[in-house]
Amino acid sequence: MPATVPTRAATPRNPSLAADARPWSAERWCGYFEGNTTAWLSSPLHGSAALTTSERAAIADSIAMFQLGESGGGTHVRRAAAAYVARGGEAAYVQALALFIAEEQRHGAELGRFMDAAGLARWKRCTTDGCFRTLRHTGGLERAIAVLLTAEVIAQVYYRALRSATNSSWLRALCTRILRDEVAHIAFQAERLALLRRSRGPCARAWRNALQRVLFAGAVSWVYSTHGRCLRAGGFPLRRFWRSCWSRYRMAHARWNAPHIQHKLNSRNE
């Protein structure tokens, strides 16, 4: 009896970051992101946007910087993904990446909607966002994903701090939703990074991992220097923030270095 091929309906609701979890094909990621879009649209967020004076002072600039970072169009990484597909990558990856970028933009739009309701000013530019954009734009798809992963891992800790720094029911619910999405985003990026690096030898992979650790350490330090007030208000002084970021980095690192992902995906069986 022939094996049954799973359909999109059989896709697990939540992707896993476990090192031994089976990777998803780009087509399955499309199904996940499409389902998540429906879930967001069917349950719009509302609640109290009221902030105390101390909350406003702690989070106003910080949330403005993150909102700007979540709102990018991803032009460079889209072009890099198209080139990757043209070289033989999964055809559905371009669509999966577009859906991922749309989800990030939705985070930015929802943060902006909250900021408007709370009377917080939006920013048009900032140094942190400019630095991350420059890093993403100076290489191909592999480097862009490495930079995106850095931002996603740190965001997991940041949104926990932001949620704890306020009693606004609207903002707390929004942070919870974004945190759930970030787990999937890290799995999505880590799996693709593993596939991009599968043809490289052990020394080349080790060198790239070392460079990524340097990038991550610099990013964690920079984020704390620019968002420290918000992070401390949310219960993440430097020592806890540093440890929490590296704990999540190790999980993502295990995922993109998992031996079973260092092989070509077969979309019919994934």
Domains of the chain with CATH codes = 51-261 (1.20.1260.10)
- pLDDT at residue 136, rounded to an integer: 64
What are the counts of helices (DSSP H) followed by strands (DSSP E) for the chain? 9, 0
Tokens at 80, concatenated: 């890099």
80, pLDDT greater than 80: yes
172, pLDDT greater than 80: yes
Q: What is the mean pLDDT of residues 212-236?
A: 96
61, pLDDT greater than 70: yes
Which pTM was predicted?
0.87
Strand (E) or helix (H) holding 190: helix 169-196
Closest to 213 (Cα-Cα) out of 174, 176, 267, 250: 250
270, pLDDT greater than 60: no
- Biggest CA–CA distance in the chain, Å, is 67
**pLDDT above 90 covers what percent of the chain?**
64
Cβ neighbours around 104 below 10 Å, total: 23
Q: What is the mean pLDDT of residues 57-83?
A: 90
Tokens at 73, concatenated: 């169009």
Between 188 and 257, whose confidence is greater? 188
Predicted confidence (pLDDT) per residue in 10-38, tens digit: 444 678 777 777 889 999 999 999 999 99
Between 258 and 188, whose confidence is greater? 188
253, pLDDT greater than 70: yes
- pLDDT at residue 10, rounded to an integer: 40
Tokens at 70, concatenated: 């979540």
Q: What is the mean pLDDT of residues 96-120?
A: 95
Predicted confidence (pLDDT) per residue in 115-143, tens digit: 999 999 998 876 666 666 666 667 789 99
Angle, alpha carbons 129-135-139 (nearest 5°): 145
Q: Taking all residues of the chain, what is their mean pLDDT, rounded to a whole number?
A: 86
Cβ neighbours around 189 below 10 Å, total: 25
Q: What is the mean pLDDT of residues 139-165?
A: 94
Q: What is the mean pLDDT of residues 205-233?
A: 94
Between 267 and 156, whose confidence is greater? 156
